[in-house]
Structure 1
């Protein structure tokens, strides 16, 4: 029948879809290849600097890739390192959760009320420019030793990108969405739940990704603050034992875990964009 697409039309549409998908996958493959090449270059420079150019018996040779990878395998299979990693990830989760619980409502309020933004903006800009690590002595005096000062420092470090990105998202909302909500007599909660939060979710996820990067940088020095577990504590332990290959293995593991956390945040953002 004339109203039904022919087999040839189906084949043409399928071919067009395949041709469109091919460049996309080729682009992904090219990016992956370039990224792998960059990592290989870093490993080559590491090897050259510690095993080829370093003098025999020098300190640099103790951080060579060969001994580092051997120590990393031993630490992951025959030590309590996985427990320390789990403790660090738990602290990251708690710090990020507290930052979200504080930052999202505050960002929504600041983005919605210009006078509140004018009142709080100078104080926020002042506080966020103070390094979280400079609060370490005060955090210990106020909260004592243990997890509480670590949670405070991580939350303080992570809250600012979440607040600022959430406020920016509210201010960039399409005014027609809010007018549409008013036209159907939506309550404030309905407007928040169905219009504002979906509209700023992308900005919140961007803030989360930035916060994770900051948290991961601040975490290790915070875990050198009178705690008995965590990756920062483990690094101090390897230093005290003069286990240099294990210390380098920890540095490598911290980089890998941070890379994976950032990749997860980017994946979540892409999933939201695709959805």
Structure 2
């Protein structure tokens, strides 16, 4: 137990030392680099979390993540089930899905703004586009790993297709869906910051641009630390939900 605590702390301590050494080396040729020092970033972070503005940005960003993730799940889970249960659909759709999956979500920025305008709508689109693929693929993989006897039992009981999906397939692949959601959260959190540079007036991405424009580099570093911490928390919650489901289902 002690080792599990000390090893992460040692890794963080080493990262802080390297960060400080890097800033000190840069400061000789670029004096402004001093604003990025760990101590100044820590002070800026303490000031940020004591104010109310940053929490508004965080709240709006988390709302966008929730909407984007929800849209991705609404699309990804049914499509994943359809891919795994229909060979004709899989043969026609999977090449297209694989092609789209390899396109960076950020490359859709100009088109998203052109079609949806500025504001939350293009952000939702970019986040959903980024998150749908791991959910879709993990759902399909989960259906492929289901015990065929479950499906045979459902057919022998004259279950309809919708009953089979709702009462046999989805409960049997919940762990796979949660794995896809966890992967989607990691991707969506990375895409969030540049996506929020699309004309919105609040959010973590907007705050990053604002600190740059104000030359508030210590706040910029503090915001980067905050983004990492929030992302870690979201991943932890996703892992906890996945582990809890596995414990309950077993």
Q: Give 1:110 shift.
A: 0.7
Alignment partner for residue 215 of structure 1, among 172, 188, 197? Answer: 188
Alignment partner for residue 206 of structure 1, among 168, 179, 183? Answer: 179
Q: Structure 2 CA distance, aligned partners of 1:33 and 1:117?
A: 48
Alignment partner for residue 230 of structure 1, among 183, 203, 210? Answer: 203
For the pair 1:115 / 2:98, whether they are aligned, the reply is: no
Alignment partner for residue 133 of structure 2, among 145, 160, 163? Answer: 160
The answer to whether the Cα contact below 8 Å between 2:26 and 2:33 also exists between their aligned partners in 1 is no
For the pair 1:66 / 2:20, whether they are aligned, the reply is: no
For the pair shown, the structure with the greater C-alpha radius of gyration is: 1
For the pair 1:266 / 2:239, whether they are aligned, the reply is: yes
Instruction: After superposing the two structures, state which structure 1 stretch, 261-270 or 177-186, moved more.
Output: 177-186
For the pair 1:247 / 2:220, whether they are aligned, the reply is: yes
Structure 1 equivalent of residue 16 of structure 2:
43
Q: Give 1:262 shift.
A: 0.7
1:230-260: CA deviation from partner (whole Å, max 9, x where unpaired): 0110111100100010010001100100011
Structure 1 equivalent of residue 72 of structure 2:
99
TM-score w.r.t. the length of structure 1 is 0.86
Instruction: After superposing the two structures, state which structure 1 stretch, 186-195 or 39-48, moved more.
Output: 186-195
Partner of 1:224: helix, strand, or coil? coil
1:73-123: CA deviation from partner (whole Å, max 9, x where unpaired): 111213511100100000000000000001101111111111111110110
Structure 1 equivalent of residue 57 of structure 2:
84
Q: Give 1:57 shift.
A: 6.3
Q: Structure 2 CA distance, aligned partners of 1:100 and 1:122?
A: 20
Q: Structure 2 CA distance, aligned partners of 1:260 and 1:78?
A: 21
RMSD over equivalenced CA pairs, Å: 1.5
Partner of 1:227: helix, strand, or coil? coil
Alignment partner for residue 6 of structure 2, among 33, 36, 47? Answer: 33
Q: Structure 1 CA distance, aligned partners of 2:187 and 2:25?
A: 34
Q: Structure 2 CA distance, aligned partners of 1:226 and 1:244?
A: 22
Unaligned runs of at least 5 residues, structure 2:
none
Q: Structure 2 CA distance, aligned partners of 1:110 and 1:187?
A: 18
Q: Structure 1 CA distance, aligned partners of 2:175 and 2:52?
A: 40
Q: Structure 1 CA distance, aligned partners of 2:134 and 2:51?
A: 39
Aligned length: 248
1:145-177: CA deviation from partner (whole Å, max 9, x where unpaired): 000000011111110111111111111111011
Structure 2 equivalent of residue 182 of structure 1:
155
Instruction: After superposing the two structures, state which structure 1 stretch, 175-184 or 253-262, moved more.
Output: 175-184
The answer to whether the Cα contact below 8 Å between 2:106 and 2:126 also exists between their aligned partners in 1 is yes
Unaligned runs of at least 5 residues, structure 1:
1-25
For the pair 1:141 / 2:152, whether they are aligned, the reply is: no
Alignment partner for residue 129 of structure 1, among 84, 97, 102? Answer: 102
